[in-house]
Amino acid sequence: MNPFPEWLAEVAADAITVHADAPLAEARSNQWSFGLDAGQRAVVTAADVEGFIRAVAVARGRWLAAREMGPMQFYCWHDAQIGQLRFSLVSAGGVRSVFGAPIEPVSVLRAVVHEFLGAAAPGDPLRVWVLTVP
């Protein structure tokens, strides 16, 4: 079973916290994480994962636009230590400040998706895809 439609509805309905003066608190409050079990991994494709992430970014951008808030940076990464896909929002310009280690920004979302689906190990560079929304 593909879990992404259900997860998307859940994330899209969630409020966004905006605290430009406290980027770490903002990032933590807006963070979501997802993992796939063996059955889910057997049915989802890289295109499914990428579509989910992009749909979440669009939904978060719509939430901000509807409230005349933003822009913010939506960012996504694979947490290799626990095998989860994670994403959050932080006020524009703050992504680097929320990580305790250096990050490698990537312009191609597929790099993060590829890692999430099993091609990365703890210790690899932390690749982060960033998109300004709305």
Successive 10-residue mean pLDDT values, the chain, 134 residues:
88 91 90 91 92 95 93 92 92 77 89 85 79 92
Q: Residue 92's domain spans which residues?
A: 4-133
Q: What total of structural domains would you count in the chain?
A: 1
* Residue 36 DSSP SS3: coil
For residue 61, which of 24, 25, 82, 30 has the smallest C-alpha distance? 30
pTM here?
A: 0.89
